[in-house]
Every structure is written in structure tokens, then in C-alpha cells.
């Protein structure tokens, strides 16, 4: 065996393969390496897409009087991130929650927590809220700041449960 032949066999271990087969082998190795990387990347991108945090207006003070209207319906989050009670196909009231209430998001579940730390409702629940309807200026006075421009009414001041 010639030393030159030995050296060329070390440098090109696949040189005995036909170029077409060699290219195909490289393609297969590339796919085995890059397809899992792409799949992991796609999964991470979809995990990063989280739903927006809902707008959660809360009364700044304990109310001096309670309203006597009953608002039955389904608690929903609209496409703009506003929590509303869907009364019927034409009416969705933006709720102004009682003083001390808070919002908790666990995974895909959105919970309303009362001032005692108890869950009182979740998005998707059928609810019956006591309270009353008010205009935009009264709603803003109750929360202590202006409502976002696209937070349309009707506005419902919710009594504590």
C-alpha cells in the first residue's frame, strides 16, 4: 500500500461514493439536524403568544350606596381585552368591579377575586351581578381615572358579593 493512497483515503473517507449519493447523504444529515431545531423553534414561538391581560376597572372607594339592578349573563373577555357581561347578542356591559376586587390569571383561566380572596367568577361563567348602569362620567369618577377610548359602554357598577 502506497503512503499517498493511504493519505487520500484518510482525507476523503467517502470518496468512493458516487457524487449523487454523497450529496443525498449530506441532505439527509442536514434534515436530521435542522428539522428538530425548526420544530423546537416553532413550539417556542407559539408558547410565547399569551392572551392580553384584561382591563379590570375597580371602584376606588367603598360605595356609599348600592344599586338594585340585576345583571344576568355570561362573563366574557371581548376581543379588545375588556371583561364584560354578555346579556344577549346585542348587549355587553363593561363591569366596574367593587373596591378591593382583583383579577387573577392562571394559565388560560381568568378569575375575579373578591376582597376576601375568594373566587367569585371566571370568564365563561354565568353570573348574576347586583349593581346599576351609569354613564361614562360616573364610571370614570368611580374608578378615579379616564376610561380607555375604546372601552365603550354600557357601564355597570357592580355591588360587592
Whole-number Å distance between alpha carbons of 13 and 6: 10
pLDDT digits (tens, 9 = 90+) for 106-156: 888 999 999 999 999 999 999 999 999 999 999 999 999 999 999 999 999
pLDDT band for 54, please (50, 70, 90 cuts).
confident
**pTM for this prediction:** 0.67
Contact predicate 72/127, CB 8 Å? yes
Cell matching residue 26: 449530506
**Ranges in the chain annotated CATH 2.40.50:** 69-158
Cell matching residue 39: 420544530
Q: Output phi, psi for 143, to 5 deg.
A: -95, -15
Q: Output phi, psi for 48, to 5 deg.
A: -75, -20
pLDDT band for 23, please (50, 70, 90 cuts).
low
Q: Classify domain 69-158 by CATH number.
A: 2.40.50
SS3 state of residue 105: strand
Amino acid at each position: 500500500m502506497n503512503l499517498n493512497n493511504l493519505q487520500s483515503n484518510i482525507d476523503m473517507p467517502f470518496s468512493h461514493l458516487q457524487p449523487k449519493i454523497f450529496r443525498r447523504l449530506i441532505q439527509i444529515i442536514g434534515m436530521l439536524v435542522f428539522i428538530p431545531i425548526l420544530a423546537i423553534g416553532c413550539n417556542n414561538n407559539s408558547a410565547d403568544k399569551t392572551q392580553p391581560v384584561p382591563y379590570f376597572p375597580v371602584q376606588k372607594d367603598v360605595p356609599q350606596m348600592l344599586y338594585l339592578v340585576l345583571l344576568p349573563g355570561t362573563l366574557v373577555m371581548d376581543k379588545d381585552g375588556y371583561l364584560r357581561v354578555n346579556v344577549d347578542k346585542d348587549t355587553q356591559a363593561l363591569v366596574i368591579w367593587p373596591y378591593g376586587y382583583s383579577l387573577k390569571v392562571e394559565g388560560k383561566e381568568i378569575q375575579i377575586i373578591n376582597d376576601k380572596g375568594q373566587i367569585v367568577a371566571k370568564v365563561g361563567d354565568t353570573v348574576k351581578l347586583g349593581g346599576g348602569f351609569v354613564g361614562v362620567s360616573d364610571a370614570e369618577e368611580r374608578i378615579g381615572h379616564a376610561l380607555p377610548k375604546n372601552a365603550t359602554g354600557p357601564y355597570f357598577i357592580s355591588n360587592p358579593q
